[in-house]
Structure 1
């Protein structure tokens, strides 16, 4: 490391012109570059204000890095500017300590950089630290050419004075450009030197919308190159990728060639085997030392050391292919922003990766030795690099990489949704996903190194991604496994679990929408509303292909399910072709979808039309409609239906046992939900006993209290509800407890509690209705009705209060003279028809008009067949009218819902 004054060619900024009083952290950034022959000289002069203790800590150590095999690092000044004075740190004897620090070891990269560090002595808060240094770079691999690709400072980063410039001898052919959005660089010729100067910082880049190709979001740079063309770049690098004598006869590599040749005479198979050999048998390691940034190590060395970077692996693969009689060449690509390469000047810095291009039987294959999992089935897959530069002795222009839909899906998803227990019962799900190519290989590598607990975490994460499209809570995992087949490069993940029923209420029916299909979640939302965005295309990504299969199993003894939507459908939008086939045979529905896309870009003008196509595709999703006779959850304690629950109960038992006892609460709550929904109230109560023993919280006490009330154990319910209110004081908890206290005859305590929690806010209406019930339980139904009627006067637009009045009058037999008028108004203005029809049915019973009451109950059940209170009303009315089947229903209700029967007995329905 050298210490010298600044070179004479540099225009040094006077210290007096540096504004040390400004609050701007970066007070100076002066970058001057000069091309002299085959050498690039870079001068950097920067000054930072250390305006806080944090800034002093962060900026108090100076670091600089350079490649010693390509040039020198020379320090010109390290100064502290304080109160108009300049303190020369180097003059005081301070010197940098030179280290070798490999910053990319975790990414398997060794670049040979040297790093110099200096802890600046004597720094104080408020100082300005000024450091100037220069570097020289001469890269033999470029054969006398020079390239510059310098990022440009852009707002909102501010600077007191900042510029970036490049200069070269007049008459030397140099191409340069600055951008995007680099303002107006100044180009001058003076004293035999050509100079381009860019004033910084540049204006803040306009915000870009989502989905634009990378060339629209790339950082502004100052580029300069002495390469005349892409052809010249290609020619310069050609000697580095010569395969002459790369595999000597009798060498270990020659033996590998012989093995591949003996394995198959087919060129495609040979290419696949050669690619696999390089991918699997040579680990990745970037060795950028001794000129290695552009120079690949020899194939023999790569094979012996069993490591290499993209250059080394590509040269090895190229040598193998040519030895096997396959035409191939090395090509360089940009792996991160390949669409932006044509916008760059011709220079190697436009690329960051090397792969191999092979031609077999007239088809081009793009083979990446640093990828993983390439097999014969995926050999033809095209990487998403967009552009490539072939490396040839005669030179070559840029080449577009034509996309190609993969021959095989990279992912195949198969999902079985088992609803055989019934439409109201949670579904058992089995999801299997198979990954090929790099996805499969990477997953296989992860599995090979995973512990049992890590593997479980991987399985759980995969399950949540799969089950999440079926259930908002993600469901429960019962078991799972992941395997990898090295021969095919295929990883398979299989998980089993439980999700909520896939049938939802829709217009009085129960319907299952195939929401697990990708097309059910398609969205093509790209905003180009700003005037400056209207010409920006959408990046459609890489070419891809995937396949899905969804199987739905239905109850074997319930015919009548109907298939709707568009089970057979084909559509294309935004370059994606979706092909769907579906068939319902007996009690089994199978729907398959294949998605295939070339990727690429979509012009902005086509976004609205493609968005409409995506929406139409989403609207065609197949669905199943259940027959009205399908069994409902409230009947599942009957001998005919209870056996259906056995597989579901077994699955919950597995999900619970899969977790440590301390973490079983979630699964126990889920099973309690199934049991409560199917009126196994004792079983649900047992689950909540376990939940509260593990992790007591207000919600669990509330739910257990509700179950106890349903079982008629009112005093025990009150104890749980008191605990819930204690743990989480809230209006909802107070209302539930007050209602139960009133039901138990503790009206004074209930009314006191309601008064305490009535803040006259949004919850006031609910408080009044519970208070009315408490009064009704206490035999003061007239007083309770007055409170409800007062609410109706206060909120005439709240139609739910009419229903509350109808329901109250019918239950407590007060205000009966105007009851039916109120109930009729409630029905006419109802937003929830099933609830108000239930209320009017109760009013019909109170009025003695059982025929009208039965008609209302039947009408309510057509809208909401699972409305259990209405089912009970219908059974009670039917029994009163002498219908024989109703007596059995009443006996069932008495057995499984004693709390509900007791409630209605209090209302006069003995």
Structure 2
């Protein structure tokens, strides 16, 4: 029988100290009280996998009896393999397991497997050892003999449980079967003697259970499976997503639950005079007279000196081991560690009590019936100077600075001799940020150059302690991987392509409980083009990316609140370093701003002084829940906060990448080049390809073409790929090495055949005078689909290169007639006429139309500038080139055109620019010479 059905009776917190207990499987008939379904009523012809699931609970005095009858259809070889071995798990100190039947239903007959002598073999296994849990659970297994595909396997068993720790009380929390899991016949029932005080409830969405009183017994039955649960939207509290269950309890109220457990947490004689624990108390008292400091020391002692081990054996599921035993063995579960902490706190004069909580669905506890199964954890509640402190002995990293942090459990039940009702846990914003991130973004090399980043993150409390524990067990290689992973998460907030780690370090301070992770690396420039300017948005700030968008559009979702999480505090500080010799950067957005969004107070401070910007943000949240009606209001606040994110605008005089082969600007690159070298050396040779390609991208962008080619040579030697061949080919063409470029483009097409790769190769073939091959390649890849326009434009260029420019223009004009709404084709016609000096009579008219209808004004202005040159109107051409560069200053070809025009007009400074282009971009100069710019 599957272990998941055994969980019906084990429960969330299994019961203890049974009257009947056994470590062997018993065999016998079903209990007389159980309603046993007749075999003839089981539909063995159906294809439903679960043909029967009958779970019956009966409360008799202080004993809980559970009868389970289930049948599985073995409709395939896979199901035969999966269900061919029956397993059952139970806890021998909690009660007996009795097997009533193991039958194979085949062809209208029932084959009794037990009658044939088959018996379960009992094994002890601890399934939770990896999570530091031992529960004493036994597992019985039986390989079912003679099973065949098409059989129905029926197994029935029962368990009895009685728990002295509950002082005669009984509880049931049985999960209910829900669609899409189908069943032939399924139900879950609970029954108890008429007149016995039992509370019950089924839900959520449990339909209409049948409740009757018959023959002196009160019973409730839930037909199964229940309808499929309605899909819940994102962000709802856990009580809305918990699975439906049938609950029953003989506890009158929460106060009774509290009273029943109070004796288990008595601290009388817990710390004997002269004992090792008494010595620890003396140490704490001797270190400080401050109650808060004492409480922090006691909590740290329990957290750090006693390891966690959940001991569910010998009544341990509810009964904590004695503090002296916990201290001697140096391990214990939440009960043992809480009782130890409670004893220490009382010994040092601090008022405290143990409270029960639910660590997973704390918000759902008030919806539960009063019973211990509503909880899965215990902690300590202390009162110091009128303030409440929630201390968890199983947590880690608690120090004086974080003592006041409130756990996210929402509700607690104080364990008191005179009883107590449920208590809401009031959240409190932490005094110390749980996470502090300090980031330095070094853009001193220039606005077009990759940024050097140093990010230092400090984690406190449990986050810091957990990181410290991980560091204590990590090897050097594992630490390196942790740094890489952390760097990747940080760099991804700055660049969609991430970044490269150049160095890093991780450390932990046990006295403060703080872990520090420092990472250095390179990311793409933080300045992007926007509205004709270069602008840097501070995307590293949480407010720049946070969104509050929760869907409550369905009618059934309208009232569902949003879970805002637990109370928390974090701090960010971003420092930006700008080029020292480029004044004029301007700060926009709202560098100083404060807002409360969805319960989180965001406080921002920013200041630009000289070439250094510093912006900090503090986020302080209480957590809790937000009513659905407030979602639109908070969404609007979130959007406004995002829109206020500070940004920097660069001066128009800032140096651009294409200028960096000049001596003055080259000097800026030394730190960046050193960082790339460090990133490359950080990896084994076989894994250096990514960093080499990244450096090649930088070098190509600043027109260190030889350096970029060298990097691609190394990257291709490590791992050849089409993208690297294509990029290297483009660099070679920029250097005028057309034949070498063709060779690379051929390799790229071979490795990854595509229309784009074919167009690149065909264009270069045509440029090199290999028109026939180019046209043949274009014909092969022209599928007349979405890429047809691009194919036609390349074919037109090839025709022009071979002296058939008029034919090429006809093809472009035909495209314009075919796609009159594609304004880019007007630009293509203008550009083609201007370069190849064809169709001069209508050239300016076409170019003017292209400019008027342009979606990319800088490109069409560049084309019209070439048309102005072709028509001899250099003044108009210069005006168009300069207008294009105002929109896109980094448009290098336009920079060259402007320099050429200025030289043609006799402006002396232009000769220096032209000399620079001839030296740095000979391929570009050669190509434009072909267009008449000699």
Q: How does the TM-score come out when normalised to structure 1?
A: 0.99
Please state if 1:71 is matched with 2:123: no
Listed as ranges, the gaps of 5+ residues in structure 2 are 1-24
Corresponding residue for 1:181?
205
Please state if 1:640 is matched with 2:677: no
Corresponding residue for 2:364?
340
Corresponding residue for 1:458?
482
Structure-2 separation of matches of 1:612 and 1:434: 31
1:70: how far off?
2.0
Corresponding residue for 2:4?
none
Corresponding residue for 2:620?
596
Matches within 5 A, 1:549-560: 549-560=573-584
Corresponding residue for 1:889?
913
Please state if 1:544 is matched with 2:568: yes
Q: Which moved more, 1:633-642 or 1:713-722?
A: 713-722
1:33: how far off?
1.0
Corresponding residue for 1:834?
858
Please state if 1:657 is matched with 2:670: no
Equivalent in 636, 640, 665 of residue 616 of structure 1: 640
Please state if 1:568 is matched with 2:592: yes
1:77: how far off?
1.1
1:188: how far off?
1.3
Q: Deviations over 1:577-634 (max 9, x none)?
A: 1110000000001100011110000111111111111111111100000000110000
Corresponding residue for 1:240?
264
Structure-2 separation of matches of 1:812 and 1:131: 87
Corresponding residue for 2:293?
269
1:167: how far off?
1.1
Structure-2 separation of matches of 1:763 and 1:65: 64
Q: Deviations over 1:417-465 (max 9, x none)?
A: 1110111111111111100011111111111111111111111111111
Structure-1 separation of matches of 2:785 and 2:45: 56
Q: Which moved more, 1:876-885 or 1:490-499?
A: 876-885
Structure-2 separation of matches of 1:577 and 1:519: 11
- Specify the SS of the correspondent of 1:131: strand
Corresponding residue for 1:629?
653
Structure-2 separation of matches of 1:760 and 1:532: 49
Structure-1 separation of matches of 2:818 and 2:288: 88
Q: Deviations over 1:504-552 (max 9, x none)?
A: 1111100000111110111111111111111111111101110001111
Q: How many residues align?
A: 910
Corresponding residue for 1:163?
187
Corresponding residue for 2:897?
873
Structure-2 separation of matches of 1:845 and 1:279: 80
Structure-2 separation of matches of 1:723 and 1:105: 55
Equivalent in 737, 743, 751 of residue 767 of structure 2: 743
Matches within 5 A, 1:716-865: 716-865=740-889
Corresponding residue for 1:80?
104
- Specify the SS of the correspondent of 1:582: strand
Corresponding residue for 1:92?
116
- The CA RMSD measured in Å over matched residues stands at 0.9
1:719: how far off?
1.4
Structure-2 separation of matches of 1:70 and 1:462: 46
Corresponding residue for 1:133?
157
Corresponding residue for 1:302?
326
Q: Deviations over 1:240-297 (max 9, x none)?
A: 0000110101111111111111111111111111111111111110111111100000
Corresponding residue for 2:22?
none
Q: Which moved more, 1:194-203 or 1:590-599?
A: 194-203
Corresponding residue for 1:408?
432
Structure-2 separation of matches of 1:15 and 1:490: 64
Please state if 1:56 is matched with 2:105: no
1:783: how far off?
2.1
- Specify the SS of the correspondent of 2:180: coil
- Specify the SS of the correspondent of 2:663: coil
Equivalent in 597, 610, 618 of residue 586 of structure 1: 610
1:780: how far off?
2.4
- Specify the SS of the correspondent of 1:478: strand
Equivalent in 706, 709, 732 of residue 730 of structure 2: 706
1:778: how far off?
2.1
Equivalent in 285, 303, 317 of residue 279 of structure 1: 303
Structure-2 separation of matches of 1:695 and 1:470: 27
Structure-2 separation of matches of 1:755 and 1:7: 83
Equivalent in 226, 236, 247 of residue 223 of structure 1: 247
Structure-1 separation of matches of 2:273 and 2:802: 104
1:753: how far off?
1.7
Equivalent in 419, 435, 449 of residue 395 of structure 1: 419
- Specify the SS of the correspondent of 2:98: strand
Corresponding residue for 1:444?
468
1:197: how far off?
1.3
Equivalent in 515, 518, 527 of residue 503 of structure 1: 527
Q: Deviations over 1:738-757 (max 9, x none)?
A: 11111111222222222222
Structure-2 separation of matches of 1:722 and 1:601: 60
Q: Deviations over 1:670-719 (max 9, x none)?
A: 11111111010111111111111111111111111111110011111111
Q: How does the TM-score come out when normalised to structure 2?
A: 0.97
Equivalent in 315, 319, 330 of residue 354 of structure 2: 330
- Specify the SS of the correspondent of 1:90: coil
1:29: how far off?
0.9
Structure-2 separation of matches of 1:11 and 1:39: 18
Listed as ranges, the gaps of 5+ residues in structure 1 are none
Corresponding residue for 1:470?
494
1:169: how far off?
1.2
